[in-house]
């Protein structure tokens, strides 16, 4: 145990990452934002989003004072939008329940929306030097390989074993370098595919390397076929504006603006006319595409319709017409934003 911990701290200090935008600070707000963005997202993807986000909301108070729409607009394209909504909700909660001061107690941090045990521990370690174990995806991979912990990490028994291992390894001092070292090791050397075992400081301690079973750890998730779903989307264009609807606050693309969806298989121009009170002047299909979420695959059939107002102009609660310049700054799902951009580029 001590050999693992000592090697990891020494390796991180010599070879780990030290120049990321959220490092070299004790500001819990900056650390918190980075930890939320890094959930299920690679560092290279996060960096430009993080920099834009912090430039727009440099303090927790600035984030709390913003609208959810402002937050999601900056989150557009980063995915897993519930993270952005929870970040905003948590900022409001800190202002209301903690007088605007980010809590130092890990149990209170974990009570904030979107923060679990591992994220709370990481924030407390980096911001306040608290001696706490983390267990994100990279850490799970490192521990299963080094200590031969078999099974899928998502299984409760395996996860409990990983938590016990993570807590047993905690150093008496140097928690920041140790915690960062676990993250760095999993992200740069002990990767999911093509791990660089020859460069790893744990190569002489690693069970998987010693047994030539690196590919066996961590154990695979039981495979299930992704459900297939389909929808039709309408690009209603009227006088240079496109109609958008606000998605429900929960579910896919929650809280974002998106194109209205029509019943699959029904005549799209008839559905649009009945639902939105427009007269459809022309209707043409656009190339369909598929967007894969973590839990299902969505097949999208878009329809481009030139319309004019009919008995009523589409202005339902939660809907609005925007011109292309306004759409650029709106909080749209990435595939919808790309679809609209592609239409704009067509002659």
CATH number, position 168: 1.10.340.30
pLDDT of residue 222: 86
Would you place residue 41 in the very low, low, confident or very high pLDDT band (cuts 50, 70, 90)? very high
Longest dimension (CA), the chain: 76
- Answer yes or no: do 170 and 242 share one domain: no
Q: Does the pLDDT at position 308 exceed 80?
A: yes
Catalytic (active-site) positions? 35
pLDDT of residue 346: 60
Q: Does the pLDDT at position 230 exceed 80?
A: yes
pLDDT of residue 113: 97
Q: What is the mean pLDDT of the chain?
A: 94
- Answer yes or no: do 196 and 274 share one domain: no
Q: Kindly list the distances between the CA atom of residue 239 and the CA atoms of 193, 307, 309, in Å, as whole numbers in the listed order.
A: 51, 8, 10
How far apart CA 86 and CA 249 sit, in angstroms, is 11
The closest alpha carbon to 320, from 269, 262, 271, 276, belongs to: 276
How far apart CA 283 and CA 167 sit, in angstroms, is 61
- Answer yes or no: do 211 and 232 share one domain: no
Does residue 288 lie in a domain region?
Answer: yes
- Answer yes or no: do 124 and 195 share one domain: yes
**Rg for the chain (alpha carbons), in Å?**
24
Would you place residue 309 in the very low, low, confident or very high pLDDT band (cuts 50, 70, 90)? confident
Q: Does the pLDDT at position 325 exceed 70?
A: yes
Span 63-109, pLDDT tens digits: 999 999 999 999 999 999 999 999 999 999 999 999 999 999 999 99
Q: Does the pLDDT at position 345 exceed 80?
A: no
Domain that includes residue 109, residue range: 2-216
pLDDT of residue 268: 96
Does residue 223 lie in a domain region?
Answer: no
pTM of the full predicted structure? 0.80
Span 251-272, pLDDT tens digits: 899 999 999 999 999 999 999 9
Total domains, the chain = 2
Does residue 331 lie in a domain region?
Answer: yes
Does residue 221 lie in a domain region?
Answer: no
Determine the length of the chain: 347
Tokens of 124: 């407390």
The closest alpha carbon to 268, from 308, 317, 234, belongs to: 234
Q: Does the pLDDT at position 315 exceed 60?
A: no
Q: Does the pLDDT at position 317 exceed 80?
A: no
Q: Compute the average pLDDT of residues 120-139.
A: 98
- Answer yes or no: do 276 and 341 share one domain: yes
- Answer yes or no: do 203 and 290 share one domain: no
CATH number, position 252: 3.90.79.10
Q: Compute the average pLDDT of residues 160-188.
A: 98
Helices and strands, counts by H and E, the chain? 15, 8
């Amino acid at each position: 145990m001590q050999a693992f911990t000592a090697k990891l701290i020494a390796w991180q200090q010599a070879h780990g990452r030290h120049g990321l935008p959220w490092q070299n600070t004790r500001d819990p707000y900056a650390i918190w934002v980075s930890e939320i963005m890094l959930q299920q997202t690679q560092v290279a993807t996060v960096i430009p989003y993080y920099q834009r986000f912090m430039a727009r909301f440099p303090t927790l108070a600035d984030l709390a004072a913003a609208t959810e729409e402002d937050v999601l607009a900056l989150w557009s394209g980063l995915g897993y939008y519930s993270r952005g909504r929870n970040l905003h909700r948590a900022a409001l909660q800190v202002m209301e329940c903690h007088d605007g001061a980010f809590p130092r107690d890990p149990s209170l941090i974990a009570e904030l929306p979107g923060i679990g045990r591992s994220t709370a521990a990481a924030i407390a370690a980096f911001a306040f030097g608290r001696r706490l174990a983390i267990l994100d995806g990279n850490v799970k991979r490192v521990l299963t390989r080094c200590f031969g912990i078999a099974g899928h990490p998502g299984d409760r028994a395996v996860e409990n074993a990983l938590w016990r291992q993570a807590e047993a390894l905690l150093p008496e001092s140097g928690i920041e370098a140790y915690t960062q070292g676990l993250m760095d090791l999993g992200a740069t050397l002990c990767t999911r595919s093509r791990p660089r075992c020859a460069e790893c400081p744990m190569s002489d301690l690693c069970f998987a390397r010693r047994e030539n079973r690196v590919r066996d750890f961590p154990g695979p998730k039981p495979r299930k076929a992704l459900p297939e779903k389909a929808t039709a989307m309408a690009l209603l264009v009227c006088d240079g504006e496109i109609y958008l609807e606000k998605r429900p606050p929960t579910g896919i693309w929650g809280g974002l603006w998106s194109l209205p969806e029509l019943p699959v298989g029904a005549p799209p121009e008839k559905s649009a006319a009945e639902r939105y009170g427009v007269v459809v002047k022309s209707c043409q299909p656009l190339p369909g595409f598929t967007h894969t979420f973590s839990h299902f695959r969505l097949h999208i059939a878009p329809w481009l319709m030139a319309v004019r107002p009919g008995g009523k102009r589409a202005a339902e609660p939660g809907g609005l017409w925007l011109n292309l310049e306004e759409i650029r700054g709106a909080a749209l799902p990435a595939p919808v934003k790309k679809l609209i951009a592609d239409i704009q580029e067509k002659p």
